[in-house]
Structure 1
Amino acid sequence: MRVSKNKILSFILLVLMLVIVGCSSETSKKTKENNNNEEGELRIALSVQPPSLDQPATSVAVARDLSRLIFETLVTVDSTYQVVPSLAESFSVSEEDSKRYIFHLRKGVKFHNGKEMTAEDAVASMNRWVEKSSATKGIFDGATFEAEDDYTVVLQLAKPSALTLDTMASTNMAAAIMPKEVIEAAGDKGVSEYIGTGPYKFAEWKQDQYIHFTKYDEYQSLDGKPDGLSGKKEALIKDIHFEIVKDATSRLVGLQTGAYDFAYTIQYDNYDQLKTDSNLYPVFDPYGQLLIYYNEKNGPASDVKMRQAINTALNIDEVMFPTFTDRDLYTLNSGYMSMNMKKWDSNAGSEFYNQNNPEKAKKILAEIDYDKEELKIMTTRDYPHFYNAAVIVQEQLSQLGMNVKLEVYDWPTIMDKQSTSGDWDLLVAGSAYVSTPPQLLYISSTFAGGINDSTTAEMLKSIVTSNSEEEATQLWDELQGYVWEEHVPVTILASYNTLYGASNNVEGVGIFAGPLFWNTKLVR
């Protein structure tokens, strides 16, 4: 007797539902008890466990999402990425040389251990951030933070940069303010206590099971409408439990059965299920870009003409739609920076994006006497959208007459091969948005597979040392145009969203470089 695939899948899902409901019975019991308290408990299914919550020392996205419940920064950004005060109530920069910044701290702000935040805490935190964060390199070299009095912090730069405040407000490896004694005890191993000023306190971490945060009753919020990472933050839910659920199907089934209120990283093929389930809704997080990275150091892609030919040939519409299956999940866009970053968003070089011109590409290949040399595309099934896009890119280049081989590895192997062996030509993978153009690793000579393109390097240096935002944005516009036309370290395929799922019981989840769970409430 032949059993249909749909029946088998239905049986598997039923078993998973029973397992998850059984495993979550204790959690559900606790939740019912908590619901007697209107603040309740938010249960979130995480796809991965963060390496730590030491915000300045890790670039992992999930660590960023969790740690900002605890930690805050001197300055932050609104929804258009304009820098605004946070733990500093105001700031100013010297007009004479643009190298001296003064930050006046808010008074009466208390850490989770009850100690009032002062300038000595901010100085210790900022000096450690300069040392730990990769985002500070080039801008904060030789910089010092000092306490002028209990509530005044002075930053002295060795050289001016229009990117100073943007970098201090970066969401990646953020400049978290912690008590001085926590910083001093950290050493090389990192902080051992997670104590900040944010709306939630760290409560417990049971490795490979869950991370628990609880409301900080003494939290002092900014006033004003929530806007990006600025404005009012309220802890409307008493407890937040992040449960480590690595299996994507289990996260979805747990959401459907009510075991979880919110789930990270729902697979794109399940988007229709979220849309059509009356008890759930999809949540989009503009993650970054899907790219083709080129090995500029070795192999056929080290010839810029080869990179230009590939970039010229591709029909990106026919790569992206089959990859994501719904246009809600991606946007065709030629900009290297996020469209939401108004100061950095640029359409320079857009004429070289999505050209879909195989005949022109063949002429470029003829110029370099391409003779069926093998081209290796690395990809992984660990991220299905990377793999699906790579398969279509391979098909399009094969139709062009190129000899293309797809090499499939797990993600750790790809990272190792890219950074050590150099035995690859193309890599289809994602890249998260960054706060400033110099943080784009793939236009840096230090990037694995990157080259020291002198024009790119000089223009990046000019952006870093520019004296004004206007000058920096103009220079970036010029550089993006040059990179698209002459350098081509990557081909941008599209901007895409990470897909999350939420129960209708949850309202007010914000999205800004990841989910925001302050100002979120339960309506069970």
Structure 2
Amino acid sequence: MRRVKNVLFVMLLGLILTLTACSSNKDQNNTDQSDNTTSKGNKISREDVEGGTLKIALDGQPPNLDAPSTPATSTRDTTRMMFETLLTTDENYQAVPMLAESVDVSEDSKVYTFKLREGVSFHNEKEMTSEDVIASMEYWLEKSTITGSIFEGATWTATDDYTVVLELTESSSLTLDTLASAKMAAVIMPKEVVEAAPPEGIDDYIGTGPYKFVEWQQDQYIHFTKFEDYQPVEDEASGLAGKKVAHFDDVYFYIVPDASTRLAGLQTGEYDFAYNLPYDSYDQLESHPDIHSILTPSANEFLLYNKNYGITKDYKIRQAINAALNNEEIMMAAFPNQDFFWLDSGYMDVNIVNWASTAGNEFYNMDDQELAKQYLEEAGYNGEEIRIMATRDYDYHYNAAVVVHDQLTNIGINAVLDVYDWPTFNEKATQGLEEWDVLLSSSSTVSTPPQLIALSPSFAGGVGDPKVIEDMQAIETAPTLEEAQELWDNLQGYAWEELLPIVNIGGFNSLYAHRNNMEGISAFSGPVFWNAYFTD
């Protein structure tokens, strides 16, 4: 057996992310692509700074607070206040223990033995034991879509109150990373909460985290309060790992969908922190004496084709659209400063160095109108409408869609821009497949290829291509990282050259900001509010 304790040997794949801080400040403008951005460091300089109410302006209403069931970033960022997982990721995207004290991995990488931390209390004052972990993990396997085929036929058993054993039918170099993922997280809840959950998901929010749930007033706010009996680990804070300290008495996530309202509230002091501020306010934020702005890598902007209905089922039509696109022009319209975005053909975020790939790069950012027209002729295109679905709820998605519309019109496509609010957009993306041909959206950073919605078998009709399904399964069960990387390189090349399920347009930073009387804020797969505190 190989033992991993507190600095987990980092599974077989290691997922090391080379990151550089990209927090902007008044003296320096550094916009390196990083998902580990700290505005003023996360070490508390004054032990006596405690209390107060943190007021956060969130940009959208979470679809629910059932962490395993949705990839929504609003759910991820709010529920991490109250929920924790067996493993989590440090600033290098390495999987390290959180609620687990250690994990032993068998030589064949099929058996994982988790030793749980003792004395960890749920918010209802019940101690966490193996029965809670097993119930929670089985719920996660039922609800989460990031598990892929890794856990098919897997079993979870307990040898005592503080030891849980996972047995896989096939080994996988991605097992620990998937368990540690912040997306659709494998959170641990009391057994009785899981068993009482209605079919639509968890509605009794009890975890082990530094803050506990108080109430959710729909379309108004989500309220958390300090969990006085929280038991932190003693390791130095890093990414989502290490010591967590709840310095605030209360935390409110106010639902503020209008960006100008979030900005105005931050400027007046109504809010202490604001999500996703308008990019054209960046200079204004930088010059404001009481505000500190943060740029941090967030997601990839993409154009996704409807591969199940309508005209974009035709591969030649997809080729024509791809050949017509000038990705730099699209990204400049969406993010009007080159500090806010970068061009990259990789489906995986360029900063996830173990998975970054340039395969298929020759089909990226082609900007070739003549070739696009040739593909249209080969497809027998005869002026049919191609419906571009977009939303105004996120300016950058809408602005990108407008440029795509113009670029397609320029090659003779009868492009129509259909604009919806965000909830309707999401509903049509999954349930109204006959009502759109392409859509503009984004995919938040993930740590392994099987988590990509671009190649998902379910998102927006899914990718039902047999090779994609087969290769993803092979990646999941590859015994070594090197074999998995080679498989992924081949799959991305195939996707660009022979399938074209999406066009990855480019990666972009999110713009957050907070009042200068706060310190300790960090950003890693979204803002992290534990260890933050007021200075006055």
- What TM-score do the two structures reach when normalised by structure 1? 0.87
SS, match of residue 198 in structure 1: coil
Mean alpha-carbon deviation: is it higher for 481-490 or for 242-251? 242-251
The 3 A distance-change label for structure 1 pair 416 and 231 is closer
2:214 maps to a residue whose letter is A
In structure 2, the partner of 1:374 is 385
Gaps of 5+ in 2: 1-47
2:89 alignment counterpart: 77
Q: Which runs of 4+ in 1 moved over 4 A?
A: none
1:183 aligned residue:
194
Kindly state the Cα deviation for residue 256 of structure 1 after the two structures are TM-superposed: 0.7
Q: Give yes or no for contact 1:280–1:503 (8 Å, CA) kept in 2.
A: yes
> Aligned with 1:235: secondary structure?
coil
State the AA in 2 paired with 1:153.
V
Over the matched positions of the two proteins, sequence identity in percent amounts to 52
* SS of aligned partner of 1:154: strand
**Which of residues 56, 62, 70 is equivalent to 2:68?**
56
Aligned to 2:121: 110
1:23-38 equivalences under 5 Å are 38=50
Instruction: State the 1:451 CA deviation.
Output: 4.7
Between the aligned partners of 2:512 and 2:237, the Cα distance in structure 1 is 21
> What do residues 65-84 of structure 1 show as CA deviations (whole Å, max 9, x unaligned)?
11111111111112232211
Residues 55 and 115 of structure 1: CA distance in aligned 2, closer, same or farther (over 3 Å): same
8 Å CA contact retained: 2:121, 2:127: yes
Report matched runs for 1:262-341 at 5 Å. 262-341=273-352
1:457 partner letter: I
Specify which of 490, 494, 504 is matched with residue 492 of structure 1. 504
Q: Is the 8 A contact 1:72 1:176 kept in 2?
A: yes
**Preserved CA contact (<8 Å) 1:163 1:464:** yes
Q: Does 1:66 align with 2:81?
A: no
With over 3 angstroms needed to count, the CA separation of the structure-2 counterparts of 1:298 and 1:192, relative to structure 1, is closer
Retained in 1: the 8 A contact 2:298–2:508?
A: yes
Q: Secondary structure at the match of 1:327?
A: coil
Q: Which amino acid aligns with 1:346?
A: S
Q: CA deviation at 1:246?
A: 3.2
User: Is 1:452 matched up with 2:489?
Assistant: no
Query: 1:202 Cα shift?
Result: 2.1
1:125-144 correspondence runs (5 A): 125-144=136-155
Structure-2 change in CA distance of 1:220 and 1:387 (3 Å): same
Check if 1:351 corresponds to 2:359: no
How do 1:379-394 residues align onto structure 2 when only pairs under 5 Å count? 379-394=390-405
Distance 1:85 1:322 in 2: 42
1:448 and 1:195 map into 2 onto residues whose CA distance is 32
Is the 2:49–2:535 Cα contact (8 Å) retained in structure 1?
A: no
Aligned length in residues: 488
Q: Alpha-carbon deviation of 1:507?
A: 1.5
Task: Say whether residues 1:429 and 2:441 are aligned partners.
Answer: yes
Corresponding residue of 1:195: 206
Extract unaligned runs of 5+ from structure 1. 1-35
- How far residue 179 of structure 1 moved from its aligned partner, in angstroms, is 2.1
Cα separation, 2, equivalents of 1:304 and 1:506: 52
Deviation at 1:385, TM superposition (A): 1.4
Instruction: Identify which of structures 1 and 2 has the higher relative contact order when contacts are C-alpha pairs closer than 8 Å and 6+ apart.
Output: 2
Answering whether residue 165 of structure 2 is matched by residue 154 of structure 1, we say yes
In 1, Cα distance between the equivalents of 2:202 and 2:389? 37
Residue 233 of structure 1: aligned partner: 244
In 2, are the aligned partners of 1:333 and 1:494 still within 8 Å (CA)? yes
Q: 2:478 — aligned with what?
A: 466
Answer yes or no: is the 8 Å Cα contact 2:267–2:291 preserved in 1.
yes
- Could you say which residue in structure 2 is the equivalent of 1:15? none
Give the 3-state SS of the residue equivalent to 1:448 in structure 2: helix
Quickly say closer, same or farther: Cα 1:395–1:208, change in 2 above 3 A.
closer
Matched position secondary structure for 2:300: strand
Q: Which residue of 2 aligns with 1:517?
A: 529
Query: CA distance change for structure 1 residues 208 and 367 in 2, over 3 Å: closer, same or farther?
Result: closer
Query: For each residue in 1:185-209, what CA deviation from the matched residue of structure 2 results, as whole angstroms up to 9, or x when unmatched?
Result: 3343544432222122223334443
Q: Does 1:204 align with 2:240?
A: no
Whole-Å separation in 2 of the counterparts to 1:43 and 1:92: 41
Counterpart of 2:226 (choices 199, 207, 215) is: 215
Q: Which moved more, 1:390-399 or 1:201-210?
A: 201-210
Retained in 2: the 8 A contact 1:69–1:199? yes
Q: Which of 98, 104, 117 is matched with 1:92 structurally?
A: 104
Per the TM alignment, residue 360 of structure 1 is displaced from its structure 2 partner at its CA by 3.0
Alignment-mate amino acid for residue 378 of structure 1? M
In the aligned structure 2, how far is the partner of 1:320 from the partner of 1:257?
31
- How far apart in 1 are the matches of 2:406 and 2:94? 42
1:10: which partner in 2? none
Secondary structure of the corresponding residue to residue 503 of structure 2: strand
Deviation per CA, 1:263-313: give whole Å up to 9, x if none. Answer: 123223323322222211222343211111112233332222221222122
Task: State the shift of 1:511 in Å.
Answer: 0.9
Query: 41, 45, 57: which is aligned to 2:53?
Result: 41
* Distance 1:254-1:115 versus aligned 2 partners, 3 A rule: same
SS in 2 for 1:141: coil
SS of residue in 1 equivalent to 2:101: strand
CA distance, structure 1, for counterparts of residue 369 and residue 221 of structure 2: 51
Cα distance in 2 for residues equivalent to 1:243 and 1:66: 11
Q: Secondary structure at 2:173's aligned position in 1?
A: coil
